[in-house]
């Protein structure tokens, strides 16, 4: 028996609520219309437990004889190996090995959701390849388990964004459960937001989440106040989006960014660039885990209600604009090439 499937998943951006999401606060997230495509082929020929993995953009072409023995992410490609192993573990006992090829248009390590897209698309493609179309909720649960190998406390909101697409208000409940509320049509009301890559941070998401936890232990009152401020900005941002009130985003984004800076997740040169944007009448915030050292803080959202302001905006040195649509569709099956 052999079967094949191709599945794509979008990138994501967190509009409001990063880091606070880890502590059970809501996050407002949206899917981006640049995607990752995963082609999976299941075949008894590869031998049970064997994985042939190809990721051309990372120059990875490797055969793993016993994928289930990989239990942590140490090097490039390990997350994909883990994703196939965890995503297909429920098929045991099964006679298949897998051939998986990943092609991605999503930047890595910069807050664009490439690991969540990989986890979701790999699980969905491998299960499709063996005609086992598990429900979206189950794909999400397995993908969150995979993400937790990267950082143990992943809130699951990134996975929900790439799984369901559109614009969502998500909140981690107890255990694996993440509740979500869809905001239909909201993607078309995000015209005030522009996306920039400020450069990849040195630190992983896990390192940044861990650093916030250390700060919380050291300065609980200050950190709790910052998390509450992020929570308030998320709720106000959601209300502004629902009303279609573009001008309201500027002060809300400034508040969210100020709270993230208290958490220590924005490097000083990115803070300086954001102060200049604020002085010019706009607002900007990091989106995702941020960073401390390295080229930048990853994804930064620059916000102003007037398109003419954006047209005049001169981006800081080293930043690249990502012109992508927001509110894109979630995971979907593609025609296998
Ligand atoms: C990372 O994209 C978002 C964080 O809030 C971590 C998480 O929610 O798992 C920093």
108 plus 174 within the same structural domain: yes
Q: Which of 13, 15, 22 to mutate to test the pocket of ligand 1 (most atoms within 8 A of CB)?
A: 22
Reported pTM: 0.94
Is residue 135 domain-resident? yes
Is residue 335 domain-resident? no
Is residue 110 domain-resident? yes
- From residue 136, how far is each of 78, 81, 121, 123 by CA, in Å? 24, 21, 11, 10
**2 has pLDDT over 70:** no
Is residue 331 domain-resident? no
Residue 245: CATH number of its domain: 3.30.70.890
157 plus 32 within the same structural domain: yes
- From residue 253, how far is each of 274, 284, 293 by CA, in Å? 11, 6, 23
What CA–CA distance (Å, rounded) separates 142 from 195? 29
Domain that holds residue 11: 2-186
What integer best gives the mean pLDDT of the chain? 93
58 plus 11 within the same structural domain: yes
92: pLDDT confidence band, cut at 50, 70 and 90? Answer: low
180 plus 284 within the same structural domain: no
Q: How many CA atoms lie within 13 A of 279 on its CB side?
A: 6
Residue 64: CATH number of its domain: 3.30.230.10
219 plus 155 within the same structural domain: no
Give the pLDDT of residue 153: 85
Say if ligand 1 is within 6 A of residue 157 CB: yes
Given the structure tokens 């965890």, which residue do they identify?
86
143 plus 202 within the same structural domain: no
Say if ligand 1 is within 6 A of residue 18 CB: yes
Which of 159, 186, 213 is where one domain is finished? 186
Q: Which atom of ligand 1 is nearest to the CA of 12?
A: 2
Strand partners, 292: none
Which of 186, 221, 256 is where one domain is finished? 186
Contact predicate 14/31, CB 8 Å = no
182 plus 195 within the same structural domain: no
Q: Which of 114, 288, 290, 301 to mutate to test the pocket of ligand 1 (most atoms within 8 A of CB)?
A: 288
Q: Which atom of ligand 1 is nearest to the CA of 172?
A: 8
**Which of 331, 335, 308, 300 is CA-nearest to residue 123?**
331
Contact predicate 278/284, CB 8 Å = yes
169 plus 308 within the same structural domain: no
**261 has pLDDT over 90:** yes
58 plus 174 within the same structural domain: yes
Q: How far is the CA of 118 from the centre of ligand 1 (A)?
A: 16
**75 has pLDDT over 80:** no
Give the pLDDT of residue 72: 78
Is residue 334 domain-resident? no
Which of 136, 171, 186 is where one domain is finished? 186
77 plus 169 within the same structural domain: yes
77 plus 176 within the same structural domain: yes
Say if ligand 1 is within 6 A of residue 22 CB: yes
Is residue 12 domain-resident? yes
pLDDT tens per residue across span 43-73: 877 777 889 999 999 999 999 888 877 777 7
Q: Which atom of ligand 1 is nearest to the CA of 113?
A: 2
Using alpha carbons only, give the angle 71, 74, 77 rounded to the nearest 5 degrees: 85
Using alpha carbons only, give the angle 210, 302, 143 rounded to the nearest 5 degrees: 45
Is residue 63 domain-resident? yes
Q: Which atom of ligand 1 is nearest to the CA of 154?
A: 9
pLDDT tens per residue across span 269-294: 999 999 999 999 999 999 999 999 99
Is residue 328 domain-resident? no
Rounded average pLDDT over 10-25: 97
Q: How far is the CA of 288 from the centre of ligand 1 (A)?
A: 6
Give the pLDDT of residue 125: 97
174 plus 34 within the same structural domain: yes
Name every residue whose Cβ is closer than 8 Å to that of residue 304 and which is 6 or more positions away in sequence.
Answer: 192, 250, 281, 282, 283, 310, 313
Q: How many domains does the chain have?
A: 2
């Amino acid at each position: 028996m052999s079967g094949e499937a191709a599945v794509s998943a979008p990138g994501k951006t967190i509009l409001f609520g990063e880091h606070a999401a880890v502590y059970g606060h809501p996050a407002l997230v949206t899917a981006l219309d640049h995607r990752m495509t995963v082609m999976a082929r299941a075949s008894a020929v590869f031998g049970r437990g064997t994985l042939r993995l190809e990721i051309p953009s990372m120059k990875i072409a490797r055969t793993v004889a016993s994928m289930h023995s990989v239990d942590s992410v140490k090097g490039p490609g390990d997350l994909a190996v883990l994703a196939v192993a965890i995503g297909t573990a429920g098929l045991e006992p099964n006679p298949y090995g897998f051939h998986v090829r990943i092609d991605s248009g999503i930047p890595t390590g910069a807050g664009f959701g490439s690991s969540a897209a990989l986890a979701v698309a790999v699980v969905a493609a491998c299960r499709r390849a063996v005609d086992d179309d598990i429900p979206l909720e189950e794909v999400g649960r397995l993908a969150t388990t995979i993400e937790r190998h990267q950082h143990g406390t992943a809130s699951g909101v990134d996975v929900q964004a790439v799984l369901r697409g559109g614009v969502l208000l998500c909140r981690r409940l107890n255990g694996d459960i993440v509740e979500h509320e869809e905001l239909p049509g909201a993607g078309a009301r995000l015209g005030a937001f522009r996306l920039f890559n400020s450069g990849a941070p040195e630190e992983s998401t896990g390192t940044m989440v861990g650093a916030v936890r250390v700060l919380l232990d050291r300065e609980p009152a200050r950190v709790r106040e910052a998390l509450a401020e992020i929570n308030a900005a998320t709720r106000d941002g959601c209300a502004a989006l629902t009303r279609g009130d573009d001008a309201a985003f500027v002060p809300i984004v400034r508040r969210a960014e100020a709270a993230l800076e208290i958490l220590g997740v924005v490097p000083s040169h990115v803070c300086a660039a954001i102060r200049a944007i604020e002085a010019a009448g706009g607002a900007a915030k990091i989106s995702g885990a941020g960073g401390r050292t390295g080229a930048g803080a990853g994804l930064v959202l620059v916000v102003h209600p007037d398109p003419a302001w954006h047209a005049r905006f001169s981006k800081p040195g080293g930043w690249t604009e990502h012109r992508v649509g927001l509110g894109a569709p979630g995971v979907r099956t593609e025609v296998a090439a």
